Amino acid sequence: MANLSRKTGKLFLFISATALLLASCSESVAPTYKGSPVRIVATGSVNELEEAFYRHRYDIELLHQGVPPLIFESLPTEMSKIRSAARKKNLFVQTLLPMVLLANKEIAQERENLLGLRSQLAESQELDEEQLHLLTTLQHRYAVSGNPTAPETLAELQHRIDQVPAELALAQAANESAWGTSRFSRLGNNLFGEWTFIPGTGIIPEGRPEGATYEVRRFDTLYDSIRSYLRNLNTHSAYADFRRLRAEARQRGEVPSGVHLAEGLLQYSTRREAYVLALQNLIRQNNLQRFSRASLRQG
């Protein structure tokens, strides 16, 4: 993941889509969002965050105007002090939505690349060296073994390289981070409760069982956390049901629904069915379904 340098105060870095890609994850082969320059924003307070929204003409109630491509390094530490639950939730969702859309855009481009290569192979056209490198890079990134040009390998890659509904990503982030107020989201930009087993690289949970070695991962930016989460759902064996439900929806010609795909996340939490139900209720009660129609601003 990226080692984006931390800045203080208000910082707006204008970078191209390719530069963003290289900064955020060198394993990806996808050119990312093509549109307005992506801006990396450092905000130290809630007021600065709201000022950034205003400066970029970004209103969560005006999604038809498009979502500006913004990357926020972290959430304000004072999120837990916001008394209004509605304001806190809106700030949380408004901060994360551009990054979820950007990360999904990367995956959409990777999928388009894969489908093009698969079509070429189906027509008995050989891949050149650059195309084969692209394919093997995707294979490595999405943890698929075997001959890269074999039909079963290509089918599994297509199964894995797909987007996660924005409403589901937002719901899981809200659930796992308590709307951006949890210790791990504040200290480590960890929105989804991901673990690491490399000692000293994460945050030791309070009350960790004796003898346990896991830590909660630290991320340089919120965007790193979101990209890691998407990759986790698309590669880990625990979420095979999630990917199956998504592929079945695609085969029916449907846009995968976050409420429906949540049923494939039984193993995300020891709460299992109760966790799935909590995600579905969170989506419905906060009307997160509306963000399934959100798209990045073009220009």
pLDDT, tens digit, 9 for 90 and up, residues 182-214: 999 999 999 998 988 888 888 888 888 888 888
Number of domains into which the chain is organized:
1
Contacts of 263 (CB under 8 A, 6+ apart): 241, 245, 276
The low-confidence residues of the chain, meaning pLDDT below 70, are: 1-36, 299
Annotate the chain with DSSP letters as a single string.
---PPP--S-EEEEE-HHHHHHHH-TT-------SSPEEEEE--SHHHHHHHHHHTT--TT-GGG-B--EEES---GGGGG---HHHHHHHHHHHHHHHHHHHHHHHHHHHHHHHHHHHHHHTTPPP-HHHHHHHHHHHHHTT--S-TTSHHHHHHHHHHS----HHHHHHHHHHHHTTTTSHHHHHH--SS--EE-STTSEEPPTTPPTT---EEEP-SSHHHHHHHHHHHHHH-GGGHHHHHHHHHHHHTTPPPPHHHHGGG-GGGSTTTHHHHHHHHHHHHHTTGGGGGG--B---
CA 195 – CA 187 distance, rounded (Å): 14
CA 114 – CA 50 distance, rounded (Å): 39
Residue 298 lies in a domain: no
Residue 5 lies in a domain: no
pTM confidence score: 0.87
Please give the pLDDT value at position 210: 84
Residue 209 lies in a domain: yes
Helices 222-235 and 17-24 pack at an angle, to 10 degrees, of: 70
Here the CATH number for the domain that contains residue 92 is 1.10.530.10
Say if CB 279 and CB 175 are below 8 A apart. yes
Residue 6 lies in a domain: no
Residue 27 lies in a domain: yes
Please give the pLDDT value at position 7: 34
Residue 299 lies in a domain: no
Say if CB 71 and CB 99 are below 8 A apart. yes
CA-based nearest residue to 1, from 31, 30, 29, 21: 21
Residue 68 lies in a domain: yes
Give me the half-sphere count of Cα atoms (radius 13 Å) on the Cβ side of residue 121. 19
- Domain housing 206: 11-293
Please give the pLDDT value at position 38: 87
Please give the pLDDT value at position 36: 63
Residue 42 lies in a domain: yes
Distance set, CA 145 to CA 229, 232, 234 (Å): 21, 17, 14
Please give the pLDDT value at position 204: 85
